[in-house]
């Protein structure tokens, strides 16, 4: 039986080799002939559109494999609706679906039912994680703690002075380790000072 493998890792510093090794061993045990491996790197499972997933589904519609192997259901989808959509299409295309971690096989009605239940649990788990994060942020705000990036401390007089000495926006940005847009914003806010600095510079010359 011709098989395809789909792997997904959510961060760029992760590698799909662990998933791939397990799935290749599973394919060998069941006598599947792996035709192609589809991989998505650094892409969240919440995204329904992914390059590897889209390519895999396109090949499924062309009849290039008969069974899809995945490491776990949450590698394929994080929402029950998306999982069901993919399973419905695979079923319509008469493609078997096998999940390694959950030991699921949609060739039978029981396997499909359990897959739907696991998908619902995965979605619930993600919702709980999001709610815990939001609760933590609310608590931090009540305690007066800063949330997000540390506010940038700028030496605005030095930026104005550098401009007055004739430095370019790019040179100033590099010196103060900020963007040219930030430099421009500071200069606009201190426009009279900047003009005065430039006038004094011309007089000294």
The alpha carbon dihedral of 23, 84, 107, 37 has a sign of: negative
Q: State the Cα–Cα distance between residues 106 and 37, nearest whole angstrom.
A: 20
- What SS3 class is residue 39? strand
CA-to-CA separations, 21 to 16, 17, 32, 58, in angstroms, rounded:
9, 6, 14, 24
> Is 107 noted as a catalytic residue in this protein?
no
Residue with tokens 């200069």: 187
Which pairs with CB-CB distance under 8 Å and at least 24 residues apart come from 100-104?
A: 100/19, 100/22, 100/23, 100/26, 100/69, 100/70, 100/71, 100/72, 101/71, 101/72, 101/73, 102/72, 102/73, 104/73
Task: Provide the CA 93 distance to its chain's centre, in angstroms.
Answer: 29
Q: Residues 10, 72, 79, 195: which is the catalytic one?
A: 10
Cβ-based neighbour number of residue 142 at 10 Å: 8
Q: Do 52 and 38 form a contact (C-beta atoms < 8 A)?
A: yes
Catalytic residues: 10
């Amino acid at each position: 039986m011709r098989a395809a493998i789909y792997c997904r890792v959510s961060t760029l510093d992760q590698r799909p080799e662990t998933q791939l090794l397990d799935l290749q061993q599973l394919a060998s045990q069941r006598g599947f002939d792996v035709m192609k491996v589809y991989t998505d790197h650094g892409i969240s499972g919440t995204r329904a559109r992914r390059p590897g997933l889209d390519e895999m589904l396109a090949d499924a519609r062309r009849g290039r494999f008969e069974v899809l192997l995945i490491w776990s259901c949450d590698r394929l989808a994080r929402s029950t609706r998306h999982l069901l959509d993919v399973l419905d299409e695979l079923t319509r295309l008469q493609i078997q679906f096998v999940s390694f971690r959950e030991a699921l096989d949609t060739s039978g009605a029981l396997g499909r039912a359990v897959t739907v239940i696991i998908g619902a649990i995965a979605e619930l788990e993600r919702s709980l994680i999001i709610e815990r994060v939001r609760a933590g942020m609310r608590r931090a705000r009540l305690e007066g703690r800063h949330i997000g990036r540390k506010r940038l401390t700028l030496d605005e007089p030095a930026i104005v002075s550098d401009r007055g000495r004739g430095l370019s926006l790019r040179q100033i940005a590099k010196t103060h380790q900020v963007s040219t847009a930030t430099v421009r914003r500071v200069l606009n806010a201190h426009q009279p000072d900047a003009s005065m600095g430039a006038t004094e510079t011309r007089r000294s010359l």
